[in-house]
Amino acid sequence: MKIRKHREKSRLIIYKENELLVFQKVSDKLEYGLIGGFLKKGESPEEALIRETYEETSVKLSSKDLKYHSAITIDLDNKQRLSKHYFVCEDYTKPFILKEPHKFRKIDWVYWKDAVKFLGKSDRKTIKELFKPCKINH
C-alpha cells in the first residue's frame, strides 16, 4: 500500500505516583486526552510538544524536561499513516493550567487505571505499558 499522507503527533505523559495528568475533552461522553498535538512543517516531535504544551497549559518546557518514551505508527483509512511520539515529563509540580476551554473541560489528576478507560486506543496502550509494575511502582 502506498501511503498518501503521513502525519505526526507528540504526546506528553505526566504522572505522580499512580495518577496521570489528563485533559477532559469537551464531549457528550467522558473522554480524556494527553497534552500534545500535530507537528508543524519542519518541527521535530520534541519541538512540537514544547509548543503544544505552552499553547494548551502555559507551561514552558525545555528539552531537558522531556524524556523520550516510545512511538506508535498506525495505518489509517485512505492510505494515511499517523505516528505518535510519547515523551515523559517527570516534573509534575509545574503549574499546568487549562488554556483551551473550547477543546477541554478541565485538566486534572486521575488514577491511571480510571483514566485509561477513557483515552484513545494508542494512548491507552502506551499508558498501560508505562504503568506495568516493572516500570513504575503503583
- Give all domains of the chain, ordered by start, each with its CATH number: 5-130 (3.90.79.10)
Q: Measured at the alpha carbon of residue 13, what is the angle toward residues 7 and 16, in degrees to the nearest 5?
A: 175
State the pLDDT at residue 132: 78
Distance CA 128, CA 136 (A): 11
Distance CA 105, CA 24 (A): 5
Q: What grid cell was written down for 21?
A: 495528568
Range 63-82 average pLDDT: 91
For 2-58, write each residue's pLDDT tens digit: 768 889 999 999 999 999 999 999 999 999 999 999 999 999 999 999 999 999 999
Average pLDDT of the residues of the chain? 92
Q: Where are the alpha helices (DSSP H) in the chain?
A: 45-57, 112-116, 121-130
DSSP tally for the chain: helices H, then strands E: 3, 7
Range 76-94 average pLDDT: 91
Distance CA 119, CA 116 (A): 5
How many Cβ atoms from other residues are within 10 Å of residue 14's Cβ? Answer: 24
Sign, CA torsion 108/29/10/130:
positive
- Asked if 32 and 23 touch (Cβ cutoff 8 Å), the reply is yes
State the pLDDT at residue 76: 83
State the pLDDT at residue 1: 61
